[in-house]
Amino acid sequence: MTTSAALPTRQRHSPCIGVCKLDEATGLCLGCARSGAEIASWSSLDEQGRDAIWQKLPERVASLSLRIRLMPWTGSEIIEWAARTIIDQQGTWVTGMPGAIAEFPCGPGRDLTVHIGADELIGRADDALLRLRASDRLRAFAFEQGGPIVIGFSRARANDAPLSQFTPLGPDQNAIDARHSRELLFDFGLGRRFSRFCIRTGNAELFMRLNQLAGLPWGDVFSRAGAAILAESPARVVESQLARIEVFSPIPPPGGKSPAGAHTHFLPQFLASGEELPSALALPDYAAPVAIFYPGPPPA
């Protein structure tokens, strides 16, 4: 089921991804696949002229074997496309960083609903919630034919104050459902600029225990309160600048298997890299990661 409100129409953006070098053999840019003449005339073209160029690019990108392709979608179109992945029960949405992610699967058999409001999408399942907000700076980057699509946002407008210690954030006023807005949110302080991994609880006893650990590295928090977190299995909240996934499924015990539906992964061995994204999905320097859509299950 889907409900929607009209989203504003926005002007088509440039295909440029910041790699501005013409291929000597074809005369096409090795970043965006436009010709030099198309690049020079872009600012003077109307929407019909820009769309005509966009339509030529997929074939050129394939012929040049480019690793990454910027999609022509505006922020509103990205929201509409994302809603369609949920309606059609295709793929999996992921947000977070290598080693600490949340997954919102949309595959067959899932009981899903989606709502498109004013500049945002909200997907609902029994075990998770997903929110993706639109912006005129939102971009979609495709990797390989039929491969993952990474949603990006302007780095210049992204948060630039990462937390590097366990931090109580108070009531979750940004909760997707208002009924969770009085529950208390804790950021593990993983030190990433573009995403964070949090837990949220309404349990007074767990709150008091976690509150006493404020200011500690996340590893110390797990050593001192890991058993209590596992026993309570609080909601995990993983978010970036414009995306949030809230997961309610139980946390599996050490060595246990993640549930088949929505779940999170917290894998310390992968956090040491400090990466914001898997290296195979690196974005242009101007773009910060928001979320990843995998047409199938994400890689293990």
> Are 61 and 190 found together in one domain?
no
Which of 66, 87, 105 lies at the terminal end of a domain, its last residue? Answer: 66
pTM for the structure as a whole: 0.92
pLDDT (0 to 100) of residue 35: 95
Percentage above 70 pLDDT, the chain: 96
pLDDT in tens, 224-265: 999 999 999 999 999 999 999 999 999 998 888 888 899 999
Overall domain count for the chain: 2
Statement to judge: residues 143 and 275 lie in one domain = yes
What is the chain's mean pLDDT, rounded? 92
Residue 7 lies in a domain: no
89 belongs to a structural domain: yes
Burial pattern 244-264, b for ≥16 Cβ within 10 A else e, equals: bbbbbbebeeeeeeeeebbbb
- Looking at this protein, which amino acid is placed at residue 225? A
Residue 246 lies in a domain: yes
Q: Regarding predicted confidence, which is higher, 221 or 273?
A: 221
Strands of the chain (E only): list them.
2-4, 68-70, 92-97, 100-105, 113-117, 120-125, 128-133, 139-143, 149-154, 167-171, 184-187, 195-201, 235-240, 243-247, 263-266, 287-294
Read off the pLDDT band of 131 (50, 70, 90). very high
H/E stretch holding 82? helix 75-87
Tell how far CA 161 is from the center of its chain.
Answer: 18
Whether residues 297 and 248 fall in one domain: yes
Tell me: do 149 and 83 sit in the same domain.
yes
- Residue 230 contacts by C-beta under 8 Å, 6 or more apart in sequence? 251, 253
Which domain covers residue 185, as residue numbers?
A: 69-300
